[in-house]
Structure 1
Amino acid sequence: ISYYNAGKAYPLALRDDLLRSLPSLGARYPTYKSYANQTLTDVFAQKELADAVVKNAYTFATALARNNGDGSFTLEPLPLEAQIAPMYGILATDIDGDGKQDLLMAGNFDGVKPEIGKMSASYGVYLRGDGKGHFAPVRALESGFFVPGQARDIQRVRTRTGSIYIVSRNNDRPLIFRATAPAAAEKARR
């Protein structure tokens, strides 16, 4: 795995990880300094790279794939609040009872190597839909939707008194939310 900086590909692996996988490179990189700033083509010969499987990722954004109706899709990144950490639990439903699809999202991921760093800056996000495919974030103080930890799924459960939203999390108890907006409460009574 590599990453690009100023048009050059650099190996993502730290020296110790690389040498654990490919001990034969130890003679070429006996020190951390000798490995520093090495590009992918410095580490691997063109012949070795020619046989490599190449996959490219052009975005890691949490996005909405809009169906254009002709067999194609347009990828539209969601607002910044949905980009703070990876989102694993995503529920599209009408939260506020206005008849328009909203999004409840939660995620985070702590199971990464220390050099990459935890991806745990999100506390979940409620995105209010306008019915035209655009979404605006609603502050947690207003919505009450606050999800610490590593969330993995969000499910809506209909009850006699209205819908509840259950958020499952890794190594933690689930969280339960209820929509209390006047429009949602009125709609639930119908």
Structure 2
Amino acid sequence: HNGSLDPLLCTPWEGAYYPVAQRDLLASQIPSVKKKFPRHTPYSNATVTDIFSEKDLLSGICLDAQTLETQWFENVISPSKGMGRGELHFIVHKLPLETQMAPVYRILAADFTGDGKTDLLTIGNDYGADIETYRQDASNGCLLAGDGKGGFKFVPNWSAGFWAPEEARDMSAIRLQTGKNVLILNSNNSPIRTFLLKWRQ
């Protein structure tokens, strides 16, 4: 009712798309749903094409999520077949399992382990999810040690000295004269915190 676009999350099943939202939640945004489906049982079996007209579907924007993984993209140039420059393309790399536990909102790239190789630090979590998806808060933040070849390995939080279980949104790193990295962490509805990362073999 506020004029903004709201996504309708759907899931595929046997060639059709079914809404994830329960009837009452969808009807609170689209009152005609309650009239078309006065009972919950018919709605539970309804596909998107049963709920919306062809005109409605054609006027909407349909986006298809192929993956929900947290990934990083390597920008590479393939060898040229002639005298010109090679073709620019991306190689997709999946980050370790520990980064897939919750949404990632910020990734910081720096040498946190002091070995001269680029590492990654991730933060995230989402408390604002609706009742259909629940809270997504299983992440405590992740330090990923880089091998210098594009691979990353999770460093346990107790070893990294980093713990961010909040709804973290942003962070910045400041390198001290000692070579240590001080991290400033900003989270929703939480005080700003700082961390001194420690690396233990």
TM-score of the superposed pair, with normalisation by structure 1: 0.88
Residue 156 of structure 2 is aligned to residue 139 of structure 1: yes
The runs of 5 or more residues in structure 1 that have no matched partner are 184-190
Q: Is the 8 A contact 1:147 1:175 kept in 2?
A: no
1:130 aligned to 120, 137, 147, which one? Answer: 147
Match of 1:187 in 2: none
Q: Kindly provide the CA deviation profile for residues 100-133 of structure 1, in whole angstroms up to 9, marking residues without a partner as x.
A: 0001111100001122100000001110000001
Q: Quick one: distance in 2 between partners of 1:126 and 1:60?
A: 20
Structure 2 residue matching 1:117: 3-state secondary structure? coil
Match of 2:58 in 1: 50
Match of 1:174 in 2: 192
Deviation at 1:24, TM superposition (A): 2.4
Q: Quick one: distance in 2 between partners of 1:14 and 1:78?
A: 33
Q: Quick one: distance in 1 between partners of 2:54 and 2:93?
A: 36
Residues 1-190 of structure 1: pairs in structure 2 closer than 5 A: 1=8, 2-69=10-77, 70-162=87-179, 163-181=181-199
Q: Quick one: distance in 2 between partners of 1:100 and 1:124?
A: 20
Deviation at 1:140, TM superposition (A): 1.3
Q: 1:47 to 1:97 in 2, by over 3 A?
A: same
Deviation at 1:182, TM superposition (A): 7.9
Task: Give the fraction of aligned pairs with identical amino acids, expressed as a percent.
Answer: 38
Structure 1 residue matching 2:11: 3-state secondary structure? strand
The runs of 5 or more residues in structure 2 that have no matched partner are 1-7, 78-86
**How large is the RMSD of aligned CA atoms in angstroms?**
1.9
Moved more, 12-21 or 81-90: 12-21
How many positions carry a matched residue from both structures?
183
Residue identity opposite 1:71 in structure 2? L
Q: 1:126 to 1:6 in 2, by over 3 A?
A: farther
Q: 1:5 to 1:174 in 2, by over 3 A?
A: farther
Deviation at 1:46, TM superposition (A): 2.9
Structure 2 residue matching 1:49: 3-state secondary structure? helix
